Chains A and B, each alone.
Chain A
Amino acid sequence: MLTIKNLYSTIDSKQILRGLNLEVKPGEVHAIMGPNGSGKSTLASVLAGREEYEVTDGEIAFNGKNLLELAPEDRAREGIFLAFQYPVEIPGVSNINFLKAALNEIRNYQGKEQISAKDFLKLVNEKSKLVELDGQLTNRSVNEGFSGGEKKRNEIFQMAMLEPKLAILDETDSGLDIDALRIVANGVNAMRSPERSFIVITHYQRLLDYIVPDFVHVLYKGRIVKSGSKELALDLEAKGYDWIKEEEVTQ
């Protein structure tokens, strides 16, 4: 589904990603962990198409398409979803109206019919329950005045509404208390399917107790330096990142 080969990326001429490789197959959940500044959020931003990040080398193929040639909206329409680490507040833009417009533009791109008002509302009701998001919040301006937890739940709600093929969760667990974390994880788990893949970027092993990954990768200095099963996350939790850094140095 997603193949990243030898990816190099810079922001403000600063080299962040240095030859990153990753292969994600349908239905898989990949966790990406790593110390601060290792390039985790850069990877998420590059995948979603944030223009400040320049790709200087390498390639990304998504279901056979060259992702790097696509505008951010076309990546979303192809089925990529980024749950933001810091969801943006957009005063005056209604959460619901914006989602409806987005959903319809995606459907249009995919050659599907526009969703009817009735079906849309049904979908909103169903999906907002999934993350226990208050109906009031869905009607408000995008993220405006939302608490940290509400913002993250809103991200997962949007993901559930747009039903992507590949979802990238960028530190969705940071700033969440354990109850909110459970709600968010339940929402994600409900969406797991043999066709849908996830890249879960996190700092903490805690999230992976709830969203159990198929693979864990350690990102360090812009490259994946170690990959393993979910047990790797436990090792990292117990031992920290220093041993990985040392391994790097000895190599």
Chain B
Amino acid sequence: METIATSTKEQLLYSLETSIVSSIDHLHPEISASAKETLKALEFPSTRQEEWKYSRTTRISSESWEVRKSSATYDISSFRIKDIDADEIVFINGFFCPDLSTVRNNGAISVLPFSQLDGQLKQQALNNIGSETSRHNSFFTALNTAYCTDGIFFFVQKNTVVHRPIHFLFLQEGERTLAMPRISGIVGSGSKMHIVTSYGSLDQKKAWNNAVIEITIEQNASLTFDKVQLEGDQNFSIINEFFRQHKDSRFSISTLTVDGGWVRNNLNIFLDGTHCESHLNGFYLPRGNQHIDNHTLVDHLLPHCESNELYKGVIYDRGKAVFNGKVFVRPDAQKTNAYQNNANIMMSDDATVNTKPELEIYADDVKCSHGTTTGRFDESALFYLRARGLGEESARKMLSSAFIGEVLNKVDNQFVRMYVQDILTTRGLWV
């Protein structure tokens, strides 16, 4: 077994080594070189590791993948969010597509591909990338660092309200393509912005996306982040996200997983300043044979911070969901308020959910709670609706809409909410 796993890893690394130079090399070649060293020492994740116990990666490691720029033209309009008036940054197969993107740089905000960074911005990007990756040597993050297909760095000057949201679209096409896009950004102190990321397949072919998002939220800044996952049944998606919050900052993220054959979200939030506030909400709706795994980490490093986490899932057919919510309260993080809740509804006898809250508390003056529920619909509510004339199907739909509606309603931006609602409606998941 050991030899097979090693050779799979080596085959993958060899094929990447011969086909791509990490776009991070433009910033400093040392970063990808050190990531490659890390990869040598790490095993390809497998279910033998606690972190990957419920998500089989053999389906990824048994394929041969190729990094390939897209030459086809696709209509991407269904991935644009109607009326939102956002700046759109489009990646296809992990490569930035300037022709499909609208980037309006001005004095207050800079948005640039890694390859065009220069001077002070380059130094800032370098610091931002170096700081997160050196702390997190997980296999897939290191893989992205070593072989990043393309990256965007953004920087918001201090005391700036960015009125127009930035929408990053990560799309893929072609058989067995591997995309490794990266977003690195800094929201300057006292600034406010809204980011949307969405993920989708253009042709429903087998593809693997291994993305890294790393954002620093500086003092008293505010970031709202919506993530819409719409990938195909043949897609493997590993999203590695790192958010570091400084003093008095506010951060809110909604992870809306509508579709995805095999999804692993690694969301990491570091409350690295006092009086920070963090909200993490998410829903997942695995259907057919879909597998949706959310691993979240909220790391309370300093005192007087608050985090609120709510993840809800409706699991249909033979769908599988995994929720693992880590909350660390470090010795210095007195007066922490940390709340976590995970609720699941099983829609079929073949549905599976593995849910595991992990609270590690090293401070003594904190308020922390967690709860998890997994069950079927409340039969009395179902009967009440049916007794009014609603068919069983509509009644169930109404109850599941209400169930995930609690998460969707936390999305501030009405256009994002409408966009997701419309998609859920066409999928027959929303009334």
Contacts and interface: CB of A to CB of B under 8 A. Distances in A.
B387 A98 contact: no
Interface stretch (A5-13, A83-91, A195-203): A83-91
Residue in A76, A101, A141 with the greatest tally of chain B CB atoms within 10 Å: A101
Contacts of B390: 73, 98, 101-102, 105
A73 B403 CA distance: 22
B361 interface: no
B19 to A, nearest CB: 49
A109 B390 CA distance: 11
Interface string B366-395: 000000000000101101111111111011
B385 A98 contact: yes
B394 A72 contact: no
B385 to A, nearest CB: 7
B386 to A, nearest CB: 4
Contacts of A162: 388-389
A74 to B, nearest CB: 9
B386 A90 contact: no
Contact of B391 (A99, A103, A105, A158): A105
Given A88-B381, A90-B381, A93-B402, A72 B387 contact: yes
B132 interface: no
A18 interface: no
B317 interface: no
Interface string B281-315: 00000000000000000000000000000000000
Contact of B384 (A87, A99, A109): A87
A188 interface: no
Interface string A12-55: 00000000000000000000000000000000000011110000
Interface residues of B, number: 23
A73 B386 contact: yes
Interface string A194-215: 0000000000000000000000
A111 interface: no
B398 interface: yes
Contacts of B363: none
Nearest to B391: A73
Nearest to A49: B387
Interface residues of A, number: 32
B13 interface: no
A92 interface: yes
A99 B384 CA distance: 12
Interface string A138-180: 0001100000000000000010001000000000000000000
A115 interface: no
B87 interface: no
A102 B399 contact: no
Nearest to A90: B381
B407 to A, nearest CB: 10
A73 B402 contact: no
Contacts of A106: 389
Contacts of B357: none
Contact of B387 (A48, A90, A101, A109): A48
Contacts of A92: 401-403, 405-406
A71 interface: yes
A103 B399 CA distance: 17
Contacts of A73: 386-387, 389-392, 395
28 contacts: A48-B383, A48-B387, A50-B383, A71-B392, A72-B386, A72-B387, A73-B387, A76-B388, A77-B389, A82-B387, A87-B384, A88-B378, A88-B381, A90-B399, A92-B401, A92-B402, A93-B401, A93-B402, A101-B390, A101-B394, A101-B398, A103-B389, A105-B390, A105-B391, A105-B394, A106-B389, A109-B389, A162-B389
Interface of B: 378, 380-381, 383-392, 394-395, 398-399, 401-403, 405-406, 431
